[in-house]
Structure 1
Amino acid sequence: MSPLPSSLPAMVRTRVRAAVLRPSRLTPEEAEARALLLRLCSLLLQYPDRELVAGRAELANAVAALPRSRAAGELAVFLAWFAGQEGEALERHYVEMFDLRRRSGLHLTYYLHGDTRRRGMALLTLSRRYRAAGWDVGGGELPDHLPVVLEFAALAGPGGGEAPLRQHRRGLELIRCALAEAGSPYRHVLAALCGLLPPPTRADLAAVARLAADGPPAEEVGLTPYGYGEFAPPPACQEDSR
């Protein structure tokens, strides 16, 4: 696989650079490609600040250098849209999709636990998992923010590193469904990610529909909900639109 181009801004290049504990079931090339896919998903789900926007062409080149796969194709489709938008339009769309809508917020423990005491414990467990692996998240985001979880998965590998993604598979499916229903190009990033994980079972899909209809547990413990609006069953959840 071709290395990332040297012209990629330093911040972007650092975030994308593959550094992975390679599992025995994957060849080194496969492990590197998987880690890069996860890192690219992490990057593309971050707020589109000026530096990220400046790296769009290089990000597209990084995706083009990946081995052909459905996930790489989904990211290529997203980047074709991403490259053609003005920075302010990208910012507005990101805020609308991820900050103002509960069904497509990026804090994974919210879908499993809502604003309950169990969510606080889940956040603590994630933080401990990161520290045990020798990884310092920093103070910018909560440990369940999807780009953070993806970065850890890329660093620690498909076993323990991707365990939080598998644990929150239903939440990820709900986000994908909600983005598909809204017609957001970010649905392609979620489709790429979900395609790397075990497919949802019928029980998973039924649970996603219930979650979309009823929302997560509602015990209030002082955590601010991430986003506004109501939970309602998204039609996209009834049929896999990937």
Structure 2
Amino acid sequence: MKTLRALAALLSYPTAELVAAADEIRETLDREAMVPAPERANLHRLVDDLAAGDLYDLQERYGLLFDRTRSLSLHLFEHVHGESRDRGQAMVDLLKLYEEGGYTPTASELPDFLPLFLEYASTLAPRAAVELIGQPANVIAALRERLAKRGSPYEAVMAALLALSRARLDATALATLRAEPDPEPDDLAALDAAWAEHEVTFGPGAADATGGCAVDGLAGRLRAAMRPAEGVAPPLTRGRRAASANQGAGS
């Protein structure tokens, strides 16, 4: 499904190459027509926004949204395990899922980075791909609401993913996600407090909090990757790696 690759590109850090590929992304979305027309029209507006914007402004906006603001993190496990020790094993499990599916990530991002996750899903048969992207539907729904609150054109990607997956949302899990602190990127004190929060959990059914029901072993393996595990320290997200590097440089 090239549509998923197009959506992955739209959620990636803006580069000159991404801007140059705007027409190709637009054509892919229209040619496959996997996304319903209303959501596809909003995706076109995002593509137009990226194509017409100043690259440095686009990059700054992206960083403020997705790297600085924890509640908008594109790392899926951030919203399930937070900075708990369980996240590392979940990363290992997800990477193993990729490898068993014959997919070797070439990016330096962590395996739970949503654009990378979508790249992997794009290599699967359509039914398996749709099932897989439905697993983190609650997280995607929460991200959509937060982006909509900010009037961000990136909301269009989350809406498209929800429309594609047609996954049933879990009201309890979504309510837990909605209760996460959601500060604005210029509220530094609130951002620091949010990063210091304990892990997000969803009770005994935590493994199912990503939304959707498995119809094959692939989706089940993703749920296993989302399940808490003991004893492995979590890796840092891109934003936290940068913060750690800056602290190290200042010490």
TM-score, scaled to structure 2: 0.68
Following TM superposition, by how much is the alpha carbon of 1:160 offset from its aligned partner in structure 2, in angstroms? 4.5
Check conservation: 1:107, 1:226, Cα contact below 8 A.
no
In 2, distance between residues paired with 1:220 and 1:122? 9
Query: In structure 2, which of residues 34, 38, 61 is the aligned counterpart of residue 93 of structure 1?
Result: 61
Q: Distance in 1 between matches of 2:146 and 2:134?
A: 19
Contact 2:79 2:177 in 1 (8 A): no
Deviations 1:9-40 (A, max 9, x none): xxxxxxxxxxxxxxxxxxxxxxxxxx122111
Per-residue deviation, residues 79-108 of structure 1 (Å, max 9, x unmatched): 122222111111111111111111111110
Summarize the alignment of residues 51-200 of structure 1 with structure 2, pairs less than 5 Å apart.
51-67=17-33, 69-162=37-130, 164-197=132-165, 198-200=167-169
- Secondary structure class of the residue paired with 1:113: coil
Indicate the residue corresponding to 1:22 in structure 2: none
Q: Deviations over 1:145-178 (max 9, x none)?
A: 1011001111113554455533322221222121
CA distance in 2, matches of 1:209, 1:172: 12
- Deviating beyond 6 angstroms after TM superposition, the runs of 4 or more aligned structure 1 residues are none
> Structure 2 counterpart of 1:205, which letter?
L
CA distance in structure 1 between the aligned counterparts of 2:131 and 2:31, rounded to whole angstroms: 27
User: Which of 192, 196, 199 lines up with 1:217 in the alignment?
Assistant: 199
Give the equivalent residue in structure 2 for 1:203.
172
Any unmatched runs of 5+ in structure 2? 183-193, 201-230, 241-251
**Contact in 2 for aligned 1:105/1:227 (Cα 8 Å):** no
Mean CA deviation greater in 77-86 or 116-125: 77-86
8 Å CA contact 1:149, 1:164 repeated in 2: no
Unaligned 5+ segments in structure 1 are: 1-34, 229-242
Question: Does the 8 A contact of 1:143 with 1:149 survive in 2?
Answer: yes
| Alpha-carbon contact 1:98-1:104 (below 8 Å) kept | yes
Q: Do the aligned partners of 1:102 and 1:227 also contact (CA within 8 Å) in 2?
A: no
Counting helix residues as a fraction of each chain, which structure ranks higher?
A: 2
Q: 1:165 to 1:216 in 2, by over 3 A?
A: farther
Aligned to 2:12: 46
Structure 1 contact 126–144 (Cα < 8 Å) conserved: yes
Closer, same or farther: CA 62–222 of 1 in aligned 2, 3 Å: closer
What is the CA–CA distance in structure 2 between the aligned matches of 1:195 and 1:211, rounded to whole Å?
24
Distance, in Å, in 2 between the alignment partners of 1:72 and 1:135 is: 28
Task: Report which structure shows greater RCO (CA 8 Å, sep ≥6).
Answer: 2
RMSD over aligned Cα atoms: 2.6
Q: For the Cα contact (< 8 Å) 2:87–2:233, is it kept in 1?
A: no
Say whether the 8 Å CA contact 2:84–2:198 is kept in structure 1: no
- Residues 185, 58 of structure 1: CA spacing in aligned structure 2 closer, same or farther, 3 A cutoff? same
Q: 1:158 to 1:193 in 2, by over 3 A?
A: same
The 8 Å contact of residues 172 and 190 in structure 1, kept in 2 or not, is answered as: yes
Identity of aligned residues (%): 29
Distance 1:134 1:223, change over 3 A: closer
Name the count of aligned residue pairs.
194
- Specify the SS of the correspondent of 1:211: coil
